[in-house]
Amino acid sequence: MKKVSLNLAGSLGLLGVIGAVAATPAFAETGVSQVSQAINNDPVAQNVTSVSQLSDVKPTDWAFTALQSLVERYGCIAGYPDRTFRGKQATSRYEFAAGLNACLDKINEIISAGLADKVSKADLATLQKLQEEFAAELATLRGRVDALDAKVAKLEAQQFSTTTKLSGSAIFSVQGASGNSGTPSNSNIFVSSRVRLDLNTSFTGSDLLKTRLEVGNGTQSIPSVFGAGSTTGTNGVSSNIGFQTYGQDYTGLTGGSTFTLAKLRYDFNLGDARISLGPVMHAYDHIDTNSFANDESADFASTFFINNPLMVLVNGQTGGAGAAIDWNIGKSSFTARALYLAGNGAQAATNGVTNGGLFGDAYQLTGELEFAPKNANGDKPFAIKLQYTNGAVNNANVNAAGVNLEWKFTKGIAVFGRYGFGTIDNRGIGATTAAYTRTLFTGTNTTTAGNLSPQTWMAGLAFPDLFKEGAMAAIAVGQPFIDSNVGNASQTNLEAFYNFPVTNNIRITPDVQFIFNPNNTSGATIFVGTLRTVFSF
C-alpha cells in the first residue's frame, strides 16, 4: 500500500494536517462520522466552531493555522467529546480518507451555494490530487455509508419505539457452600437465576428515563445448613452468612415468577450537574462506585465487596424513593455528589420498627466528594472519594464517614479499597441494638448492650485484561463490622474471581469466598464457591 507524501498536501498547507485530523472520532458530515466511528469504535464527536474550543491545540503548534482554517473556514473537523483534538495520534489510510471525504463534501456544499470564491485554487488543486490518491478508499467509505444508511432505515422501521431502547441481562448461577461450627461439616449446592429488562427512554437526547423489570428464583442467602443448635444464637452460624455479606441481589429475589419494578428514575442535566429523581432508586448507582468492585454481575459476588455497608444503608431489590445530584465542579478534577433515599417512601403508616414515609425510617442522606484527575489520554486512572452518611434503619440512627479509593497504576494492575467508621445510636429503645444488627448486618438475634462505634474496611488487587482483552481478575480481603461489643472476634472475608468474556454478550465468572469468624463468632469458617454465567443483550 502506498504512503502519502507531504508534497501532496501542499507543503504543510491547508490540507497537510488532514491525516492527523482524521484520527479524530468523527467529522461534521453525518455519513462519514458513522463510518469513522464504526472503524475506530470511537465515542460521539464534539462539533466545534472555533479552534480555540480544542483544549490541546495551541497557537504555537505547527499545524495551528491549517487547523484553524479547516475548523473555522470549512467546518469539516470535529473533536473528541472532552474538547480535545489529539493531533499526535496515529492514523490509517481509511481514517485519512474519511477526513478528506468530509472536507470534499463541505467544499462541494460551498460551491453549490454559489460561494466558490470562498475556496482557494490551491486548496482545490490539493483536493483533486488527494482525491486521485485515495480514490479506492473514498469509494469504499461511500459504499459503507450507503450500507449504514440502509441498516439505519431498516432499524428505525422495525423498532418498537422511537424514544426507547431495550437492553437486558440473564444470570445463571450455581452456588456451593460448606461450613463447620462445632458439628460435622455441612454442605449445600443450589442454582439461582435473574433476568433484567431495562427500558432506556430519552426525550431530548441528553435525558434518561430508566425503567427496570426484574425476576428471579433465588433466596437472599444460602439455606440454613450451617448452625449447631439455634441459628439465631451466638453458638450457631447464621444462615445469612456473616453480616449479610453473601446477599447478592440476584439471589435475593423473592417474587418467584412475578416481575418486579426494580428501578424507575429520571435523569437530566442542569448546567454542569446531573439530576436523578425517582420512586425506585439505588444508592450504588450514584455513590460509593468503584471500577473494580461495584457490580455483582461482573465482579465480586458478595455485597460487602460491592459497597461499604456503612455508606449504603437503603439497599435491596426495590431500593428507595429519592433524588441524587452529580456535579462536576467547573469542569475540574473534583465532582460533588449528594443522595437522599427513603426505603419505605411508599408507606405512610407506622409498621413495626419503621415509621415509613419519604422522611421516615429507613432513610439515608449521603454526600460524596471525588478527586479524579485526567491523564494525557483523558482517562482517570486514580480516584479518591470522601463520604459522609446520616441515616436511620430500624430505629437506629447511623452517622458514618468513609473513603473509597481506586488506582490503576499500570496497564494491567490496579489497587482499590474502602474504609468506613461511625456510630449507631439505638435511640434509647432499650439496652440492645439487636433490631439494627440483626436486620442490617448480622443474621442473628445477638443482643448487644449500649450503642456501637463500628469500623469496616476492604482492600484488593485487580488485573484488568488478564489473558484476554475485556477480562478481569481480582482478589480482596476485608472486615465488614469491627466492634468489640459485637461478638468475640472480627469477621474476615476473603474473595477472588475471574471474569472471562466468551463473546461480547456472554461472560463466565468463577468466584470463591472464605468467611472466617462469621458474625464475629470465633472458630467457624465458611467456604462458598460460585460459577456465574451472564448473558447480556
Phi, psi dihedrals of residue 323, rounded to the nearest 5°: -150, 155
Q: In tens digits, what is the pLDDT along the chain, a chain of 537 residues?
A: 333 333 333 333 344 444 434 434 433 333 333 333 333 334 445 566 777 777 788 787 777 777 777 777 777 766 777 777 777 777 677 777 777 777 777 777 777 777 766 666 777 777 777 777 777 777 777 777 777 878 887 777 666 677 888 899 999 888 887 775 444 445 577 788 888 999 999 998 899 999 999 888 765 444 333 333 333 333 233 333 445 454 455 554 445 567 888 899 999 999 889 999 999 999 999 999 999 998 888 899 888 899 998 998 887 777 889 999 999 998 899 999 999 999 888 776 555 545 777 888 788 999 999 999 998 888 899 999 999 999 988 778 899 999 999 999 999 999 999 999 999 887 654 434 344 444 444 434 444 445 788 999 999 999 999 999 999 999 999 998 898 887 788 889 999 999 999 999 999 999 999 988 887 888 778 888 889 999 999
Virtual CA dihedral for 86, 90, 92, 97, nearest 10 degrees? 30
Helix (H) or strand (E) holding 416: strand 413-425
pLDDT, residue 249, reads 52
Domain boundaries, the chain: 6-158, 231-240+267-536
Helix, coil or strand: residue 230: coil
Residue 84, pLDDT score: 79
What topology does CATH give the domain 231-240+267-536? Porin (2.40.160)
Element (H, E) at 316: none
For cell 439471589, what's the residue? Answer: 251
Locate 258 and state its grid cell. 412475578
pLDDT of residue 444: 42
The helix or strand, by DSSP H or E, that contains position 133, with its residue range, turns out to be: helix 121-133
- Residue 339 burial (C-beta neighbours within 10 Å; 0-12, 13-18, 19+): buried
Which burial class, exposed, middle or buried, applies to 396 when counting CB atoms under 10 A from its CB (0-12, 13-18, 19+)?
A: buried
pLDDT at 242: 44
At 479 the pLDDT is 93
CB atoms within 10 A of CB 2: 7
Q: Is the separation of the CB atoms in 148 and 496 below 8 Å?
A: no
Q: What are the residues facing 88 on neighbouring strands?
A: none
Q: pTM (2 decimals)?
A: 0.66
Q: What is the pLDDT of residues 324-353, one digit of tens each?
A: 999 999 889 999 999 999 988 877 655 554
Other Cβ atoms less than 10 A from the Cβ of 435: the count is: 19
Residue matched to cell numbers 472555533:
50
pLDDT at 85: 79
